[in-house]
Amino acid sequence: MTPLIIAVDGPAAAGKGTLARRLAGHFGLPYLDTGLLYRAVGRRVLDGGGDPRDAGVAEAAARGLRAEDLDRSDLRGPPADDAASNVAAHPGVRRALVEFQRGFAAAHGAVLDGRDIGTVIFPDATAKLYVTASPEARARRRWLEVRARDPRADLAEITAEMAARDARDAGRGAAPMKPAFDALELDTTEMDADTAFEVAIAMVAEKLATP
């Protein structure tokens, strides 16, 4: 039997992570936040004093990635967001991370969230969700998250940074962020996390029921 794979893609702060983690719990599957891979590569480049836009440096960092790099506590926040999105644009970085992502789901299936899970990593995933929300709702959610760590967090700055990152992620040549042709779109602008979860479960259940 082919393992159950649920792809959850979409732009920044759309609610993918919370949703994907809850879906994994519900379906008894392992969960992988693939954004952490790009974040950890970006961090390695910054640690070495390199420029995340330098393809050679970023590829070397991706090839040297170790499991413990994903446990670092400094993978979130504006500098890490920006470094992740810059290293993620290099085809060589993406190639270096493909096998890890596929291997993660090989034995027991998985829920994976990211930007290209349904288009590149698992084009045959059982169910593909493309989670969105309005730019205003997403920026506000990210601002609330960042503000919990840093009271000086500025909504206008976060809005601008997120828009620039989304434009880079959608505009790159390598695995650009976009819905797979067979993805189910879930707009969470007007939904709380519980409602988004219920709607997502119904979407996945319908896919499972369709031969």
From the list 17, 12, 77, 72, the residue with the least C-alpha distance to 41 is: 72
Q: Which residues have a Cβ under 8 Å from the Cβ of 5 and sit 6 or more positions away?
A: 105, 109, 110, 111, 112, 122, 124, 125, 126, 127
* Residue corresponding to tokens 């707009």: 187
169 touches ligand CDP (CB under 6 A): yes
Q: Which of residues 54-113 bind ligand CDP (CB under 6 A)?
A: 81, 84-85, 88
* Structural element, H or E, at residue 168: helix 155-171
Q: What angle do CA 97, 113, 143 make, to 5 degrees?
A: 115
Task: Give the separation between CA 189 and CA 49, rounded to whole angstroms.
Answer: 39
115 touches ligand CDP (CB under 6 A): yes
**Binding test (CB under 6 A) with ligand CDP, winner from 31, 38, 122, 143:** 38
Please identify, among the stretches 22-30, 34-42, 43-51, 196-204, the one whose residues bind ligand CDP according to the rule CB under 6 A.
Answer: 34-42
44 touches ligand CDP (CB under 6 A): no
CB of 210 to ligand CDP, least distance (A): 26
114 touches ligand CDP (CB under 6 A): yes
Which residues of this protein are in contact with ligand CDP, per CB under 6 A? 12-13, 34-35, 38-39, 81, 84-85, 88, 114-116, 165, 169
